[in-house]
Amino acid sequence: MVPITRDSTRSPAPSTVRPAPAVAAGPARRRRRGVRGGFGAFVFALPALVVFGFFSWGPIGRAVVMSFQRTNLVQGGEWVGWSNFSYVLADPLFATAVRNTLWFTLLAVVAGFPLPLLLAVLISEVRRRRGLFTALAFLPVVVPPVVAILLWRTLYDPETSGVFNTLLRSVGLPALHWLSDPDLAMPAIVVEATWASAGNAVVIYLAALTSVRTELYEAAELDGAGLLGRVRHVTLPQLRGVVLVMLLLQVVGTMQVFSEPYLFTGGGPENATTSVLLLVYDYAFVHGDFGAATAASVLLALALGLFSAGYGLATRRWSTR
């Protein structure tokens, strides 16, 4: 007889064998799941895509169609092939407008692009009342463009009582015809445009500067770097991606300048401030040639698209390095 021991009365020990793991989904199963998820996301976003495409891409497609038509926007358009483009490219004023637009862009980039970054760096260095200085830098942005331009027209008053001419007379210099001199009109417009738009870039740069680690500035200070040294070796390398994007936006925005030459000079004097968009306005609403207007617009959009693509390819490696 087998003696009953204490251990033999215990229930059997639970099995220590772990259940076999579920069989991993194969590549085909994952692909089917991804397809179902992608299709569901597409259906969910389809209404928004349709609305966005209708209001964003619809007018662009309509403009491309009109560039090949002769239309007055009332009756149906008549297909004229490439004649609108031929007319615009043969127009001497279009070449003048292109030169003026490039000149405006060059001046705006040279004079207006470093200024917001410099202001942002100086404001970030301020220990007290940083918000006040930021508000002062941003204040011109909230001024309506028409009001700002009318204000600057009084500053550019050619009479000796004008503000700028008064300043010139105070140092013994003669008064200038700021907006009626072909050589001065475009730089005068660039100064106002820079003043009006710099606040946006200042706020963006200030937001980007908050992402720069303070340890980098502290290390630079320990190495004896001053303000310019910290900007050169810390700020610019850390913000190069933002700087490149801001430069692209500024070039694209200044190439589409319209309100400043329209309200300041109307394209004069001697067509010295006629921009491409101002010429488009003249084609459409002065001469009623909507085909030429849309053809010039398509040419400008094509040029900006090619520039943006080339710019992105040229700066891709540097912006992510």
H helix count then E strand count, the chain:
16, 2
Question: How far, rounded to the nearest angstrom, does the alpha carbon of residue 317 sit from its chain's CA centroid?
Answer: 20
CA separation for the pair 285, 85 (Å, rounded): 18
Contacts 24+ apart (CB under 8 A), 314-320: 315/244, 318/240, 318/244, 319/240, 319/241, 319/244, 320/241
At 3, is the pLDDT very low, low, confident or very high (cuts 50, 70, 90)? Answer: very low
Q: Which of 64-73, 168-177, 262-271, 273-282 has the highest mean pLDDT?
A: 273-282
**What pLDDT is stored for residue 40 in this prediction?**
81
Average model confidence (pLDDT) for the chain? 85
**What pLDDT is stored for residue 172 in this prediction?**
86
Residue, of 262 and 232, whose pLDDT is higher: 262
At 233, is the pLDDT very low, low, confident or very high (cuts 50, 70, 90)? Answer: confident
Q: pTM of the predicted model, to two decimals?
A: 0.82
At 7, is the pLDDT very low, low, confident or very high (cuts 50, 70, 90)? Answer: very low
Domains in the chain, CATH or no CATH each: 92-288 (1.10.3720.10)
